[in-house]
Amino acid sequence: MKILANDGLSESGIIALEKAGFEVITTKVAQEQVANYINNNDISVLLVRSATKVRKDIIDNCPSLKIIGRGGVGMDNIDVDYAVEKGIHVINTPASSSESVAELVFAHLFSGARFLHDANRNMPLEGDSQFNNLKKAYTNGIELRGKTIGIIGFGRIGREVARMALGFGMKVLATDKHVDEAVIKVDFYNGQFINVNIETEPLEDIFKHSDFITVHTPAVGDHLIGSKEFAMMKNGVGIINCARGGVIDEVALIDALDEEKVLFAGLDVFEEEPTPAIQVLMHPKISMTPHIGAATLEAQDRIGTELATQIISLLKND
């Protein structure tokens, strides 16, 4: 059987699948040509990340497909229910990238709190002539320790963010419609650990009491955070979105940054991917990455292995 990993697959995943007798193709096929490629090459499994969309047209026109796999957590680029109705298995890897995404959240938090994103833009341009002025401009950094982080969405990634925040000495607030409480295990290098019980709170309390807010929800039909929500927040709050574009109203975010309601923002995802709005890209108070939350070597290795294990289990048992 043939597997098309259209958005790539780790070497460990490829090796595991080939060892099990599958042919793995990593050719990048343009979105509009995916269905034709699947049919012309008798593809049984289509693996994607966030770039390739698997909508009804592909599902309807590709009778050879037995499995659609998403390397990652979110499934909003796949018409999951429709595929299942058509008898296609849909799999993902919800546990593989939590640590990588959580670490990126803190990369953006540190970047915003210490002006790293702006300093890294300006130092190459003016560091030799305006060193003292830049030093003065970046003297009002803030520490994370002792601050309150509000986590919207308390699934695997949200809980991993909580674990790291506790390690930094932060107070953790969390909200989730489906989770009442969770025990967060904070491990230390020498085998010791502590368990911290966190009860979730109403969303409004997160907005009102957090020094930093990070979002970890699936794609929503409308903005989760807009002008009304920004108005509830503390002055000088920091906002991070490493979840899905569109969760935050970017127009309202720009206004909140310009009005100094929001001190800084960190964005890994955008409303208009893959062509983010120029007002966002050029804003000096936004730390940005190009949707790389799960893009670590370790996460990709885990994702590839987990996908391979699921595929082998499903198809070898048919």
- Residues tagged active-site: 244, 273, 291
Residues 6+ apart with CB under 8 A from 224: 152, 215, 217, 247, 248
Please give the Cα distance from 169 to 22 (Å, whole number): 48
CA dihedral for 92, 49, 12, 288, sign (positive or negative): negative
The Cβ of residue 123 has, within 10 Å, a number of other Cβ atoms equal to 14
Residue count (the chain):
318
Helices 156-167 and 98-113: crossing angle in degrees, nearest 10, is 50
Question: Dmax of the chain from CA atoms?
Answer: 68
Could you tell me if 91 and 307 are in contact, meaning their C-beta atoms sit under 8 angstroms apart? Answer: yes
Q: Which residue is it, tokens 């230390």?
A: 188
Q: Which is nearest to 107 in space by CA: 213, 266, 241?
A: 266
Amino acid at 67: I
Query: Is residue 288 classed as helix, strand or coil in its secondary structure?
Result: strand
Q: Which is nearest to 148 in space by CA: 175, 173, 166?
A: 173
